[in-house]
A and B are shown apart, each in its own frame.
Chain A
Amino acid sequence: MTGRPPMLELRGVTRTVRLPSREDLHILQGVDLTVDVGEHVAVVGRSGSGKSTLLNLLGLIDRQTSGELLFDGRETIRLSDRRRARLRGSSIGFVFQQFNLLERRTALENVMMPLLYGTAGQFWKRERTALEMLDRVGLADRAHQTPGRLSGGEQQRVAVARALVRRPRLILADEPTGALDVTTGEAVMGLLDEIAQDSEAALVTITHDLQVAALSQRAYLLDSGTLHDVDSAHAREALLATSGIRAGREAVAGSGPAADAPGRRTASDAGARA
C-alpha cells in the first residue's frame, strides 16, 4: 500500500431516472469499481445493461443518483459543470463506437479539436502536437483527409489519436471495435492498448465483445445494473445464459491479439472460469 488513492473509485454508485410514467428506472445499483493508473479494465454486458450509463458517469458527463465517484480521491458530485468539463478535458479521453469524428474536418483538425479547450501551451502548439499524435497512430500521411475519405479503421485510429492528444490519464472506450471488422478491430484495440500503456493511462473498455474484454487485466460483467467480477458465480451464470456473449467468448477461445501478454486475461480464460 502506497497510501495513494486510486485514480478512479466508485462506491455504491446508483443511477436512477424517472420515466414519463412517473416510475423510477434503476439503471445502476450499488456499483463498486476501482481503476488505478495504467490499468486496463473491461466492462461487458448486454444491450440495456447500463454500460453506457456507467461510461457517462466515469467520464463525468452524467452524475450519479447516490453513492460516491472519486477522481484522484476527490468526490466529483459537487464539482460544478465547468470544473467537471475542465477535468474531463484534461484527464479523460473518449473513444466512441461510431468514431464521432467531426464531419468535413480533416483528420488533423479532428485531432487538434481537444487542444482548443486545453492550456495556452497546448492551444498554441496544437498543430504540431496533433501531427505527432497522428504519426503515432500511423496516419501522418492522411492528416489532411476528411473522415469521408478514410476507412473505418483509419477513422477509429484518428479517434484514438484525438482521445490521446491531451495525454489523458483515463481513456474511456465505448465499444471501440463495434463498427469495425474483426481484423481491423483487433489492430485498433492493439494500438489503443499500446498507446495507453506507453502513456501510463488507465483504459476502461465498455464492450459486449468478450474478445475485446479479454485484452484487459480485469473484466467485469454489468448485469441488470449491478457489476460483477467476471469470475463470480453470478457472472458465470449470466454469461452462460446469454447466447450472444457465449458465442463471442467461444469464438475467441484460445486466441486474441494480446492473449499471451503478461498479466492479461484471455477470453478463453474467462470462458473457462465462466
Chain B
Amino acid sequence: MTGLVASIVEAYGELRVNKGRIMLSLIGVAFSVFALTATLGAGGMLSSALEQSVETFSGRPTVLTVMQSEPPTGEIHPEQRDEVVLREIDRLGIDQRTRYSPLSLRYQTGSGVRTAQVTAVDPAYADMFRLRPEQGRWLADSDARRLAPAVVVNSEMWELMGRPEVGRDTVTLYAVDEQTSGQALLVGVLPKDPANAGMGAMAYTPMASVQELPGVEDTDLSYAEYRVWVPPEEADAVTGRLNSALRETDAGRFETYSGGFSFEDSGFGTLRTAIIVIAVVILLLGALGLVNISLVTVRYRVREIGIRRSYGATGGRIFTGVMMESVVATVLSGAVGVAGAVALVRAPFTQNAFRDMGLVDLPPFPVSAVLIGLLAATAVGILAGALPALIATRIKVIDAIRS
C-alpha cells in the first residue's frame, strides 16, 4: 500500500515539476476525450431524439399491431369484436394494449370549419407511442364517465381552435357531414413534433366514449385495429400465439405483426457506429501524440531514472512510476474533457436543439458516454505510459548516471 502511495506521490511530483510540458501534451488527450464523450453523449441523445420522434409515429420497437385481415361471416357489434380480441390479448397477460380506431371529425376554427384526424384509443396508447402533452394531461380511464368526451389535440389544432383553455373549455366538434355536433372537453395539448409535421390537425379521444362523439356510428368503428406493447424478447412468441388464437374467430380473422420501427436495423444504427468510429480515431490520434511526447520525455529523464535506481528504486517501481505519471495525467485530463463534454451537451442551447428535434423525454447525459470517456482516458494513459515505462526499466543505471 505504501508503495502505491509512494508511486502516486512520485508521479504527482513529476507532474508538478513538469506541469508546463505535461499540460501541453495533455491538451490533445483532454480534447480527444472531450470529443469522444461529447460525440457519444450527443450521439446517444440524438439517437434518443430520433428514436422518440419515430416512436410517436410508429410506436415503440416492440409494439405489435393486431389487424383484421378477413371480416366475420356474420354481423358483429364492434364491442363484441373488441371483446373477442382483447380476451386473447389479456389471456397472455399483456396489460399495455389499446384499441385503435381512426375517425374524421370537423371542428370550428376562426376561418371556418375544418377536418381533423381523430383517433379513438385507450389510455395506454400514450406510453406506447411516447406521447406527452405539453399542456394538460393525457386521456385517463375516468374520462369514459364524462358527459362530454375528452379530447387531446395536437398543438396545430389547438392553435386553429383559438387556444382554448385546457382542462376548462369545451370545444365543438361536428360530424363529417356537419349535420350533428357535440361538445368535447379539451384535456391536453400535444407538443409540436417534427415527425408529425404537416399532418394537420390531430386529436385523440377515449375509445370508451367514442360513441358520444357527434355522428359516430357502429359502421365508423368497423375498421378494427389493436396495439400491444410487449417486452422485446417476447415479441416473436406473442406474435405467434396471437396469430394462432385469432386465426378463426366469430369476429373474423386477425393477423399480428410487428408495427414498430426497429431503430437498430435502420440507418440510425449505422450513424451511431460512424460516430463511434470517428470518436475512436480522434482518441487514437490523441494517444499517439501522447506516446510520442512520453517517449521523448523518458529519453530526457534517463539520468534521473538512473539516479532513482541507484537509490533503491526497483525496475517495477520505475515502471509503475512512469506508467502512473501517464495514467494520473490522462485521467485528470480525461475528467476535464468529460466535464467539458457534459457541460456542452447539457447546455441550454444544446438541450433546446434536441427538443426541436423531437426529444420528448430529455434523457440525462448518457452515463455510458461518461464511463467510456474516463475509461478511454485511462486506457490512453496505460497505452501511452507502457512503452516509455518499459524503456525506462531497461535503462542501464551506470550509463544513465553518466549520461
Interface-forming stretch among B203-211, B238-246, B312-320, B352-360?
B312-320
B259: min CB distance to chain A, Å: 67
Interface-forming stretch among A102-110, A137-145, A266-274?
A102-110
Q: Digit string of B296-335 for contact with A (CB within 8 Å is 1, else 0)?
A: 0000000110011111111111000000000000000000
**Given known contacts A96-B401, A100-B303, A100-B401, is B314 in contact with A85 (CB within 8 Å)?**
yes
Contact B2 A123, beta carbon cutoff 8 Å: yes
Residue in contact with B398 in the complex, picked from A56, A88, A93, CB distance below 8 Å: A56
> Is A62 interfacial (CB-CB < 8 Å)?
yes
CA distance A86 to B5 in the complex (A): 18
Contact B398 A62, beta carbon cutoff 8 Å: yes
> Is B281 interfacial (CB-CB < 8 Å)?
no
Residue among A59, A85, A89, A123 having the largest count of chain B Cβ atoms under 10 Å: A85
> Is B13 interfacial (CB-CB < 8 Å)?
yes
Contact B313 A89, beta carbon cutoff 8 Å: yes
CA distance A114 to B13 in the complex (A): 14
**Given known contacts A100-B401, A104-B17, is B304 in contact with A118 (CB within 8 Å)?**
no
Contact A85 B313, beta carbon cutoff 8 Å: yes
Q: Digit string of A110-141 for contact with B (CB within 8 Å is 1, else 0)?
A: 00011011111001100000000000000000
**Given known contacts A52-B398, A96-B401, is B6 in contact with A61 (CB within 8 Å)?**
no
> Is A4 interfacial (CB-CB < 8 Å)?
no
Contact A85 B307, beta carbon cutoff 8 Å: no
Q: Which chain B residues border A86 with CB–CB below 8 Å?
A: 312, 314
Residue of A nearest to B321 (CB): A116
Residue of A nearest to B5 (CB): A123
> Is A94 interfacial (CB-CB < 8 Å)?
yes
Give how many A residues have a beta carbon under 8 Å from the other chain's beta carbons.
32
The interface residues of chain B, by DSSP majority, are classed as helix
> Is B397 interfacial (CB-CB < 8 Å)?
yes
Residue of B nearest to A91 (CB): B312
Q: Which chain A residues border B13 with CB–CB below 8 Å?
A: 105, 109
Contact B315 A113, beta carbon cutoff 8 Å: no
CA distance A81 to B2 in the complex (A): 21
CA distance A220 to B307 in the complex (A): 27
Residue among B2, B5, B312 having the largest count of chain A Cβ atoms under 10 Å: B312
Q: How many A-B residue pairs have CB under 8 A?
A: 71
> Is B212 interfacial (CB-CB < 8 Å)?
no
**Given known contacts A85-B312, A90-B312, A104-B17, is B6 in contact with A123 (CB within 8 Å)?**
yes
Q: Digit string of B342-366 for contact with A (CB within 8 Å is 1, else 0)?
A: 0000000000000000000000000
> Is A82 interfacial (CB-CB < 8 Å)?
yes
Q: Which chain A residues border B401 with CB–CB below 8 Å?
A: 96, 100
Contact B310 A61, beta carbon cutoff 8 Å: yes
**Given known contacts A104-B17, A105-B17, A123-B5, is B303 in contact with A117 (CB within 8 Å)?**
no
Q: Which chain B residues border A102 with CB–CB below 8 Å?
A: 304, 307
A58: min CB distance to chain B, Å: 12
Contact B311 A113, beta carbon cutoff 8 Å: yes
CA distance A88 to B401 in the complex (A): 15
Contact A116 B17, beta carbon cutoff 8 Å: no
- Chain B positions near chain A (C-beta within 8 angstroms): 2, 5-6, 9-10, 13, 17-18, 303-304, 307-317, 397-398, 401-402
Q: List 17 A-B contacts (CB under 8 A).
A: A56-B398, A59-B310, A81-B315, A85-B309, A85-B313, A85-B317, A89-B312, A100-B307, A114-B311, A116-B6, A117-B312, A117-B317, A118-B312, A119-B2, A123-B2, A123-B5, A162-B311
In the complex, besides A82-B314, A82-B316, A116-B10, 8 extra interface pairs with C-beta distance below 8 angstroms are: A59-B310, A85-B313, A85-B314, A94-B310, A100-B303, A102-B304, A105-B13, A123-B2
